[in-house]
Amino acid sequence: MEHGRSKKIYEEAKKYIPGGVNSPVRAFKSVGLDPVFIESGKGSRVLDADGNSYIDFVCSWGPLILGHSPEYIYDGIEEIIRKGTSFGLPTETEVKMARLICEALPGMDMVRMVNSGTEATMSALRLARAYTGRDKIIKFEGCYHGHCDSLLVKAGSGALTLGVPTTPGVPQDVIKDTIVCRYNDTSSVEAAFSENAGGIAAVIVEPVAGNMGVVPPREGFLESLREITKRHGAILIFDEVITGFRLSYGSAQGLFKVEPDITCLGKIIGGGLPVGAYGGKREIMSMVSPLGSVYQAGTLSGNPLAMHMGMKTLEYLRDNPQVYGSIEDNAVRLEAGLNAIIDELSIDACVTRAKGMVCLFLGKGPMESHDDVIRCDTARYASYFREMLERGVIIPPAQFEGWFLSYAHTREDIEYAIKASRESLEIAFA
């Protein structure tokens, strides 16, 4: 496969952009390659600057649940652009969007739109601290909640991949109130609450961890978090930036039937445009400015274009519930295919899955926490990635990320990805 033009663009990019990319994981550093630069996407495929076509399992890291450039979402978009792209004054689409989100999520009475998942989690923490009058927060090792200072402690995603899960530049003072517990380990949460009696404002959790690979919650884990936080008068924050509208239309909270106090959203609700949101119980959200005194604002928040794309996406998901079944069927097929290869090749690897979220770990399972996943063989994963790319399949360029399936992926795409995986894993484990 030729990558001459991508390489040329990358050389130019490195002159002006740190590392040549605008988000670290795009650099392909952990898989020992230069990044491919993308020209366009349609359905389940992307086309790079050299004209190579790939089946895409990155899907913009989650937003594209309906695949690339779906006609039914793009319908009427030109008219919306021509009406104006930003006003700094409210529009009716924001209200329609807020209603859609509140009607879908059990734990959501009111919602505030922001511009990214990072803004959502950062604002949610401020609100939880203001509501409880406490400063400390609990997060879980390997969970990633964006690049907000106080949450960049033992973080997942790119921070874990690049080996800097606690980043320089964050003052000790900022993280002194961040307590890190073990994912899927209720006793570590109980212990943190007893050691910090009356001091913990909130527990923030990815209901299915999607930034250390895919690590589903053990049965009862989310229920325990709900019970413990309630007992201690702390706020439970579900970071559903990945799981929101992905696991089901009611998101993780609808699927697991556990209602958080505050939910953070992003990705899918922007239909591929920059967006985020946080919301929850009316009593808590009533503290947000201008209704209450907790300040939070944004020049482009509720941007008309992002709202339109997000609204069209959510309406499609609401009106076409078969989307979730179809994605899950393909995820089950992928899981079975990968498991068969693991058996056949007798390799140390395992597959995790939560509905349509899938991950192939090159290490011995079970994968239930950060301690488990970091034992994976990232060098072999890099080799597996490179072979997959050569065969026209883009999987996440890092072991500690999940595959994103979309409604546009066909059965043939999945079968091809399984076949390519068989060949690629054979080489990676040779």
Residues that bind ligand PLP (CB under 6 A): 61, 116-118, 121, 144-146, 157, 206, 210-211, 239, 241-242, 266, 276
Nearer residue to ligand PLP within complex by CB, 349 or 357: 357
Nearer residue to ligand PLP within complex by CB, 242 or 349: 242
Q: Under DSSP, is residue 401 helix (H, G, I), strand (E, B) or coil?
A: coil
Residue number closest to ligand PLP, CB atom: 117
Cα–Cα distance between 149 and 151 in angstroms, integer?
5
For residue 424, the minimal CB distance to ligand PLP (Å) is: 25
**Hey, which bits of 155-298 come out as E strands?**
178-181, 200-205, 235-239, 262-266, 276-280
For residue 193, the minimal CB distance to ligand PLP (Å) is: 23
Residue 49: count other Cβ atoms within 10 Å of its Cβ. 18
Residue of 136, 139, 267, 355 marked catalytic: 267
Cα–Cα distance between 286 and 292 in angstroms, integer?
6
For residue 59, the minimal CB distance to ligand PLP (Å) is: 12
Nearer residue to ligand PLP within complex by CB, 101 or 425: 101
Please say if 50 is a catalytic residue: no
Residue of 54, 144, 249, 278 marked catalytic: 144
Please say if 267 is a catalytic residue: yes
Q: What residue type is 10 in one-letter code?
A: Y
For residue 264, the minimal CB distance to ligand PLP (Å) is: 6
For residue 185, the minimal CB distance to ligand PLP (Å) is: 19
Question: CA nearest 147: which of 164, 128, 129?
Answer: 164
CB 35 within 8 A of CB 12: no
Nearer residue to ligand PLP within complex by CB, 43 or 276: 276
Please say if 176 is a catalytic residue: no
Nearer residue to ligand PLP within complex by CB, 206 or 377: 206
Question: CA nearest 154: which of 373, 408, 419, 353?
Answer: 373
Residue of 48, 185, 239, 372 marked catalytic: 239
Torsion of CA 79, 81, 87, 91, to 10 degrees: 50
Question: CA nearest 316: which of 268, 386, 352, 284?
Answer: 268
Q: Which residues are catalytic?
A: 144, 239, 267
